Amino acid sequence: MEEIKKIRWCDLKTLKNTTLSVLFIMLFSVGFFLLCDLGISALIKIL
C-alpha cells in the first residue's frame, strides 16, 4: 500500500499524448497493411 503512494502515476497530458500516438501508429499500420494485402492480391491476379 505504501509503495502505491510512492508511484508516480502517468499524468493526463502524457497519457493523452501517448494514447494518441499509439492510436495513430495502430491506425496507420492497419491502413498500410490493408493496402499491402490489396496490392499483393492484385499482383497475384496479374501473375
Residue 38 engages another protein in binding (rule: CB under 8 A): no
Q: Using the minimum distance from each CB to another protein, give the nearer residue, 37 or 46.
A: 37
Q: Cα(46)–Cα(23) distance, rounded to whole angstroms?
A: 34
Q: How many residues bind another protein (CB under 8 A)?
A: 25
> b/e for 3-20, b at 16 or more Cβ within 10 A?
eeeeeeeeeeeeeeeeee
Q: Using the minimum distance from each CB to another protein, give the nearer residue, 4 or 46.
A: 4
Shortest Å distance, C-beta 26 to another protein: 6
